[in-house]
Amino acid sequence: SKATLFDKGSKVNITFADVAGLDEAKVEVMEIVDFLKNPKKYTALGGKIPKGALLIGPPGTGKTLLAKAMAGEAQVPFFSLSGSDFVEMFVGVGASRVRDLFKQAREKAPCIIFIDEIDAIGRARGRNAIMSNDERENTLNQLLVEMDGFGGDTGIIILAATNRPDVLDTALLRPGRFDRQISIDKPDVKGRETIFKVHLLPIKISAALDLHKLAEQTPGFAGADIANVCNEAALIAARKGKESVEMIDFQDAIDRVIGGLEKKNKIIA
């Protein structure tokens, strides 16, 4: 989902406990959190702390959530922007926004900068882009200049999310830029069960609810879809005047979300 436009170094209360599943990705990002917490421990022997990591995976799988959780765990401010915010921007505005963001981040370091949908800015030259090519290139160049302009010991970690790593300009993937890549896949049945658990916490559910069954009935669902199902089910049960949410309400909600997903796919196709 959308990172709020220019999250300007806000404090984050989200932690790894809010992120269900994604065990391998969590191990990798925990390393990065430790870089932020104890930079000297890592630079002691002459090593260089990585500046950035790319979170790769389909929409709604928790990339933004994980990035926020990293800021929450490290207890550092969270800055964010989305590549799609740069679409149809006036000449020079994209680059100056990037410059402005890094200026603020340097003042608040240690911190995390999150760039959602980086492919909107970082597409390889010559590909059909949404933005005019010149403007997109200016924005991308400014991002590269900023990334090269600080050392790994500055305490700024830049995370970027994409579901199209194949279209990215290779300049972004060079050492000293986004040199780590973390894949965030759609959850398997076990993963879906743990995601259900997290999103059922605030909901009054019937004692007879079968979590495993719910996970089995939702193949191909991303975390965002599961969050959606839980919310829909609660609304469906409430509309019926029930005291708690039952299996049948979840089944109705799942059908509804599947219907929504099918519509979305039709529009895309």
Which among 5-13, 55-63, 104-112, 208-216 is the span making contact with ligand ATP, rule CB under 6 A?
A: 55-63
User: Between 52 and 223, whose beta carbon lies closer to ligand ATP?
Assistant: 223
User: Between 60 and 110, whose beta carbon lies closer to ligand ATP?
Assistant: 60
The reply, when asked if residue 60 is annotated as ligand binding, is: yes
> In whole angstroms, what is the distance from residue 44 CA to residue 35 CA?
12
- Cβ 117 to ligand ATP shortest distance, Å: 7
Does 60 participate in binding ligand ATP (rule CB under 6 A)?
Answer: yes
Neighbours of 57 (CB within 10 A): 21
* Residue carrying the six token digits 């990798």: 28
Q: How far from the centroid of its chain's Cα atoms is residue 138's Cα? A: 24
Does 193 participate in binding ligand ATP (rule CB under 6 A)?
Answer: no
Which among 30-38, 89-97, 134-142, 220-228 is the span making contact with ligand ATP, rule CB under 6 A?
A: 220-228
Does 165 participate in binding ligand ATP (rule CB under 6 A)?
Answer: no
For ligand ATP, the binding residue among 21, 77, 122, 152 (CB under 6 A) is: 21
**Nearest Cα to 181, choosing from 54, 33, 62, 57?**
54
The reply, when asked if residue 61 is annotated as ligand binding, is: yes
Interacting residues of 133 by C-beta distance below 8 A, sequence separation 6+: 125
> In whole angstroms, what is the distance from residue 68 CA to residue 258 CA?
28
Q: What is the DSSP string of 102-163?
A: HHHHHHH-SEEEEEETTHHHHBPTTS--SS-HHHHHHHHHHHHHHHHTS-GGG-EEEEEEES
Interacting residues of 164 by C-beta distance below 8 A, sequence separation 6+: 119
**Nearest Cα to 178, choosing from 55, 1, 22, 3?**
55
Does 195 participate in binding ligand ATP (rule CB under 6 A)?
Answer: yes
Does 224 participate in binding ligand ATP (rule CB under 6 A)?
Answer: yes
- Cβ 62 to ligand ATP shortest distance, Å: 3
- Cβ 5 to ligand ATP shortest distance, Å: 13
Does 77 participate in binding ligand ATP (rule CB under 6 A)?
Answer: no
Which among 60-68, 71-79, 94-102, 144-152 is the span making contact with ligand ATP, rule CB under 6 A?
A: 60-68
Neighbours of 97 (CB within 10 A): 17
Instruction: Say which amino acid occupies 157.
Output: I
Query: Which residue's C-beta sits nearest to ligand ATP?
Result: 223
User: Between 80 and 139, whose beta carbon lies closer to ligand ATP?
Assistant: 80
Q: Which residues are annotated as a binding site for ATP?
A: 57-64
Binding site for ligand ATP (CB under 6 A): 1, 19-22, 59-65, 116, 161, 195, 198, 223-224, 227
Q: Which residues are annotated as a binding site?
A: 57-64
